[in-house]
Amino acid sequence: MKGYVHSLQSLGTVDGPGVRSVVFLEGCPLRCVYCQNPDTWEFDTAHLTEADDLVKRLLRFYPFIKNGGVTFSGGEPCVQAEFVLEVTKALKKQGLHVALDTSGCVWNEAVERLLEQVDLVLLDVKMLREEDYRKFTGASLADTLFFLNKLSEMQKDTRIRHVVVPGISNGEEDMAALARLVREHPCVKKVELLPFRNLCIEKYEMLGLPFSLKDTPLPSEEDMRRLEKLLDGYLQKT
169 interacts with ligand SF4 by CB under 6 A: no
User: Which region among 68-76, 86-94, 142-150, 196-204 touches ligand SF4 (by CB under 6 A)?
Assistant: 68-76
Instruction: Give whichever of 176 and 207 is closer to ligand SF4, judged by the CB atom.
Output: 207
165 interacts with ligand SF4 by CB under 6 A: no
76 interacts with ligand SF4 by CB under 6 A: yes
190: alpha, beta or left? (left if phi > 0; alpha if psi -120 to 50): beta
74 interacts with ligand SF4 by CB under 6 A: yes
Instruction: Give whichever of 61 and 133 is closer to ligand SF4, judged by the CB atom.
Output: 133
71 interacts with ligand SF4 by CB under 6 A: no
84 interacts with ligand SF4 by CB under 6 A: no
75 interacts with ligand SF4 by CB under 6 A: yes
Residue 47: name the closest of 28, 26, 29 by CA: 26
Smallest distance, Å, CB 14 to ligand SF4? 15
Q: How many CB atoms are closer than 10 A to CB 181? A: 20
HEC states along 152-221? HHHCCCEEEEEEECCCCCCCHHHHHHHHHHHHHCCCEEEEEEEECCCCCHHHHHHHCCCCCCCCCCCCCH
30 interacts with ligand SF4 by CB under 6 A: yes
Residue 27: name the closest of 87, 102, 122 by CA: 102
| Residues binding ligand SF4 (CB under 6 A) | 28, 30-32, 35, 37, 40, 74-76, 103
